[in-house]
Amino acid sequence: KEKSDSVTSLEIENLSKEEWIKKHAINVSSTSPNDDNFLDLQPLKEKIGNSNIVLLGEQSHGDGTTFLAKTRLIKFLHKEMNFDVLLFESGIYDCKKVNDFLQNGDAAYGAVSHGVFGIWTLSAQFQDLIQYIGANRNSLEIGGVDLQFTGKASKNFFIKDLEELLTENNIDTNRFAVWANFKKTIQKI
């Protein structure tokens, strides 16, 4: 095998994948979102270091135990490491509206369900995270990373918000003959 300029830690340490995992794994004592004893997660502080972004994935969108474990990890990252932005694979606009609703004092479930995909918000294992988001609405910002319109918020508010934005910037939509057709198209999307 030729050496590449990019050498992985596996090549440096000359370990098998299994050995590398055993050496670097962190034993987690609980996946319960209600377990706030984060002693088992403390080694993550060294692993994460000064990183600004931590990605939390899943095997599938329907893995309930993963939702529970990720909720606990999110609480740890927020409480212990001061991470203050939580991004979902949901619409950018829709999740911006989630924050607006939360800041306006809306109930957590109602706010989150306006923007975050139902595969999560309708899951029993996701409810603890929704409650945590609501309880921490002043220190945890919600965002989306999907360019699609994914939630109820875009269906119910996007056109109105767009028209307000255009008006604030002195753009008169009545000048555009195609505006009515544009609105219909956007509403279908």
Residue 116: per-residue pLDDT:
93
Q: What mean pLDDT is reported for the chain? A: 89
Amino acid residing at 73:
L
Residue 15 has pLDDT above 90, yes or no: no
| Token pair recorded at residue 34 | 């209600």
Tens of pLDDT, residue by residue over 83-98, are 999 999 999 999 999 9
Residue 53 has pLDDT above 60, yes or no: yes
| Token pair recorded at residue 88 | 């979902």
Residue 5 has pLDDT above 60, yes or no: no
Task: Look up the pTM and report it.
Answer: 0.84
Residue 11: per-residue pLDDT:
56
Q: Is 37 exposed, middle or buried (0-12, 13-18, 19+ CB in 10 A)?
A: exposed
Which whole number is the average pLDDT over 112-120?
A: 92
Residue 13: per-residue pLDDT:
63
Amino acid residing at 62:
G
Residues in a beta bridge with 144: 88
CB 101 within 8 A of CB 130: no
